[in-house]
A and B are shown apart, each in its own frame.
Chain A
Amino acid sequence: MKEKNEKSLAKYGEGDAELTREGPVFVPVADIYEKDDAILVRCDMPGVEEGQIDITLENNELAITGNQAGFRPEGYDRLSSEYETGVFRRVFKIPQLIDREKIMARLRNGVLDIELPKAEQAKPRKIAIATGS
Chain B
Amino acid sequence: MQNPDCDQLTIGGCEVNSRLFLGTGKYSADRIIPSVVAAAGAQVVTVALRRVDFDSPQDNILTSIPKDCILMPNTSGARNAAEAARIARLARAAGCGDWIKIEVIADNRYLLPDNLETLKATEILAAEGFIVLPYMSPDLSIARRLAAAGAAAVMPLGAPIGSNRGLKTKELIKILIEEIDRPIIVDAGIGRPSEAAEAMELGAAAVLVNTAVASATDPVGMAEAFGLAVKAGRKAFLAGAGAVRNQACASSPLTGFLQE
- A and B bound? no
Binding site for A on B (CB under 8 A): none
Binding site for B on A (CB under 8 A): none
